[in-house]
Amino acid sequence: MSHHPSLSTQVRLAWHASGTYDRMTKTGGSGAGTIRFKEELAHGANAGLAKAVSWLEPVHKKHPQVSFADLTTYAGCVAVEAMGGPKVTFRSGRVDAMDPSSVTPDGRLPEADKGNPMATAASLRSVFGRMGFGDQEIVALSGAHALGRCHPENSGYVGPWQGAPTIFSNIYFILLAKQEKKEYWTPDSRVKQLQYQDPSGTLMMLPSDLVLVQDDKFRVYVDMYAKDKAKFYSDFAAAFQKLEELGIDSSKLTVVNDA
């Protein structure tokens, strides 16, 4: 079964719309649908996502009673399931902001490389901790890298994480657990960034992926998910629902597709 690569982009859109939440200031997150504004799409980590927003615009125009915030996050859940992943419980009730004043500052999403493994691990814990996630949830959510690929015009990195990038699975963890820690330069990357690839040159891992096996506390969960697909699916579904509902009053949400 083959799936359109746009599905993985919809997962990325839902992820990036939600991952800006800061629990200390109670700002950001998917609740106001701000990722549809050009000011947020201009953030470095959102390169290439304007097309995903444009794909949803005709649907939103046809169903104006559905907020763009709900549409964005629901599309992410549907895409995960359509690619063979778990059913993620989705609850509607987000209310769109009317102008870009709610857009958060750039720099709230995870970065691929902070210069060395210790700094990259610390950055992951800082970024995800700001949202309220612990180590296990960080690793579970990282499993979404089984989907899609890196594009040089977006991130500077090139290539897919696994050989079937439109199928949701735990293969990311299986590959990561046995990944040879070799460094390869990628000649066609936009900016001559160091890339971590398998010897065939077809698959790659980012420094922020490799740190999941370089850090002993993260590594426990990589090994667990590599061996137990059902556990990964269950933990991913719970973490992804939590991600999409960050900063939203649960009493105002209504279950649409109870898992």
- Catalytic residues, by residue number, are 16, 161
Residue 21 corresponds to which tokens in the numbers above? 């939440």
Reading the block at residue 112, the tokens are: 């691929």
Q: Does residue 61 sit in helix, strand or coil? A: helix
- Please choose, from the candidates 83, 58, 84, 87, the residue with its C-alpha nearest in 3D space to the C-alpha of residue 74: 87
- Give the list of residues 6+ apart from residue 71 with CB closer than 8 angstroms, or none: 56, 59, 60, 63
Q: How far apart are CA 112 and CA 209, in angstroms?
A: 8
210 Cβ partners below 8 Å, 6+ apart? Answer: 117, 176, 179, 181, 196
Calculate the dihedral angle through the C-alpha atoms of 205, 35, 137, 7, rounding to the nearest 10 degrees.
-60
Residue 131: name the closest of 208, 249, 26 by CA.
26
User: CA separation (Å) from 257 to 74, 78, 193?
Assistant: 10, 10, 42
Phi, psi of 149 (to 5 degrees): -155, 165
Task: Give CA–CA dist 238/27, Å, rounded.
Answer: 22
- Which helix or strand (DSSP H or E) is residue 159 part of? strand 159-160
Identify which of 35, 38, 42, 10 has the alpha carbon closest to the alpha carbon of residue 20: 35
